[in-house]
Structure 1
Amino acid sequence: MISFLKIDIGTNRIFGLDILRCTAILFVVFGHGNLFFSGSTARYLDYFVLDGVSIFFVLSGYLIGGILIKELENKPFSKELLVNFWKRRWYRTLPNYFLVLSLLIILSYSFTKDFQVLDSLEYYIFSQNLFYPHPNWFPEAWSLSIEEWFYLIVPILLLLIDKLFKLSTKRAILVTAVLIILFATFFRYAKSLQIILENSRDLDINFRKQVFTRIDSIMYGVLAAYIAYYYNNTWKKNKKTLFAIGLILLLSTKFFIKADLNSLYACVFSFSLNSIGTLFLLPFLSEIKTGKGKINKVVTYFSLISYSMYLINLTLVKNWIILHLQIDFLNSYVTLVTKYILYWFFTVVLSILLYKYFEIPTTKLRERDK
């Protein structure tokens, strides 16, 4: 059983970024696990959970931005480079997503009364939260939609700026970053003038989980890659101070946002500060190249399977597997603890299997398709 679940860990990893990715997915799974508990208990546990998805956004932008900048500095911007970029991203993200999505459609069609397959087809083209609040079905997909639209829009915008204004790669990246960040920030501001939020769920579905209100979060990661590449000495110089400031910003956006849901801070700037806070963590963490001992392996394991964990933990594991096991002991506390343990067990084990036997093979296909 252990060998069946064993994952080979490569040597070219940056342990500090694995720490950030591991922390982010644990925040997500802990946060969804809080749904097992009563309202008061869940609210208490929520104090220990930061917004893991926002961390993922910035980290993703940082990694993809770094790859894109290096490619553009070594090759002229062309349609071929653009298509190759998309193919490599889609080999990495789409197979897992489409597999889980298709499985959920089959389960819902087979066992859920009045489920309409046509309503779920928009998930295949990531349009479910493009202009409207994300549907309740397969709620994890909201962030995948934002990422995929980012991968599609930003390189095209870069190409247009390159062709129209003949800017250097350095300036084109900076102009694109500033445009996306300003657009999303002003879009949130304009939207905040039109909507009255009644509760935190309204904030969640109208601002946190829509494409054009959050696309700047990933761009902050690209901006981090820009600074790291072109101003590396500045990037490293105050890394500990920036790390401390980053933690303060992340904690502040966690605890101050509930003060007034309709404030500019909550609707507009909390998302910016959350992204900037994560950006400030990167100079320090990106310099931690290796880890030691069992903790290193555990952190790296969670980092490797984080995408699979994200896709299956809530809808597939919690809402399908745990619910349909019909666990019900005489003692309600034992029932709760059993469900919670099984939630983590199935999430981790199934994620390892999905990563090892599907995600790795499909990702390797991109190397054959160069």
Structure 2
Amino acid sequence: MFGILKIDIGNNRVYGLDIIRCLAIFFVVFGHGNLFISDSTARYLEYFVFDGVSIFFVLSGYLIGSILIKEIETKPFTTDVLINFWKRRWYRTLPNYFLVLSVLIILSYFFTSNFNLSDSLAYYIFCQNLYYPHPNWFPEAWSLSIEEWFYIIIPVVLFCLIRFLDLKTKRSVLLTAILVIFSVTIFRYFRSMEMVLLTGGQRDLYFRKQVFTRIDSIMFGVLGAYIAYFYKSFWIHYRKILFAIGVVLLISNRFFIKGELNSFYTTNFAFTLNSIGTLLILPLLSQIKSGKGFVYKVVTYISLISYSMYLINLTLVKNWIISNMGIDFINSYFTLIINYFLYWIFTIVISIFLYKYFEVPTTKLRDNKKSDQ
């Protein structure tokens, strides 16, 4: 029976990066699970939950930045290289996303009375939160828009700098990273000067969850890839002290953002500090190549299915499956425990199926197409 849930673990994984990926998805799912409990209790638990999505952003920028730098350093940056990069990324990210999105659209169309089908179509082209608040429907899709626009915009900018301005890869990557980080920070600053935020939810909608206000977080990861590639000795030599500083920054930032909503720190620098903190822990973790034992297997398993877990945990599992099961005992605490337990079980089991029987086959299809060329 358990064979259908078994996942093959490849030999080319970096255990340290799996650790951070596992922690990031744990923070996301745990944070969404707090919606089962009272606001007063959740308020205390929030101090132990870091911004998992922001961690994902920096990690993604580091991984994709590393791929891009190696690609354009070893061969001419032609349109074929650019298109091949997009194909490989989209084979990896789009099938899962489109499948879950389509399932949610079907469920909402037939079982939600006020569902507007035309509004959901923007999700297919990732235009639901470019520079305006993300809709309430399928709320976790906000970060995927940021990722996909990063895949489109940044390689094109690098392509133009290298091909048309004849800049070297090293200068192009650094210039692009600095330009995006500076521009987005300025954009957030001027927006904060024009708005008066009343709730943390408004801060989420107008600053945390829009493409044009958060794409800089991914660029901090690209900056990390730049340092790791062109200044490898620095990246390795100072990894321990950088890790310590990064942990302090992440913990400090977690407490500081409870302050005034309209402060420059809360609407601007909190995002920057979170990204820098994540960036600084990468040198140490990226050098942990392998592990062993039960913890290693659990971490790697969760890391492998993390993308699927992110896609389904809130809207599909919590809002559709758990909410419609109607579990309700006389003892409210027992009901909470059962619902919370089922929330995690459904999230993990469905994610394993989605990863093993859909994500892996589509990724293999991508690799098979490459080998046929």
Quick one: distance in 2 between partners of 1:114 and 1:128? Answer: 18
Secondary structure of the corresponding residue to residue 196 of structure 1: coil
Q: CA deviation at 1:163?
A: 2.6
The equivalent of 2:152 in structure 1 is: 152
CA shift, 1:324, in A, is 0.6
Q: Secondary structure at the match of 1:133?
A: coil
Letter matched to residue 241 of structure 2: T
- Quote the Cα distance in structure 1 between the aligned partners of 2:61 and 2:178: 14
Task: Give 1:122 deviation, angstroms.
Answer: 0.2
Measure how far apart 1:119 and its partner are: 0.8
Q: Give 1:1-370 correspondences, 5 Å limit.
A: 1-370=1-370
SS of the residue 1:259 aligns to: coil
After the TM superposition, which of the residue ranges 158-167 and 269-278 deviates more from structure 2?
Answer: 158-167
CA distance in 1, matches of 2:367, 2:283: 30
Larger displacement relative to structure 2 (174-183 or 87-96): 174-183
* Structure 1: distance between partners of 2:264 and 2:237: 33
TM-score, normalised by the number of residues in structure 1: 0.99
Deviation of 1:368 after TM superposition, in Å, equals 2.5
Moved over 3 A (4+): none
List per-residue Cα deviations over 1:306-345 (Å, max 9, x = no partner): 0000000000000000011000111111111000000000
Counterpart residue identity of residue 254, structure 1: R
Q: C-alpha separation between the residues in 2 aligned to 1:303 and 1:125?
A: 27
CA distance in 1, matches of 2:179, 2:47: 34
Alpha-carbon shift at residue 366 of structure 1 (Å) = 1.2
Cα distance in 1, alignment partners of residues 117 and 24 from structure 2: 32
Q: CA deviation at 1:358?
A: 0.2
**What amino acid is the match of 1:353?**
F
3-state secondary structure, aligned to 2:139:
coil
**8 A contact 2:131–2:213 mirrored in 1:** no
Distance 1:289 1:96 in 2: 27
Gaps of 5+ in 2: none
| Gap runs ≥5 in structure 1 | none
For residues 238-288 of structure 1, the C-alpha deviation after alignment (integer angstroms, 9 at most, x for no partner) is: 111111110111112211012111111111111111000000000000111
TM-score, normalization: structure 2? Answer: 0.98
Q: Which amino acid aligns with 2:301?
A: Y
Check whether the contact 2:129–2:145 (CA below 8 A) recurs between aligned residues. Answer: yes
Residue 369 of structure 1, CA deviation: 2.5
Tell me the percent identity. 68
Q: Which amino acid aligns with 2:196?
A: I
Q: Per-residue displacement from partner, 1:335-357 (whole Å, max 9, x unpaired)? A: 11000000000000000000000
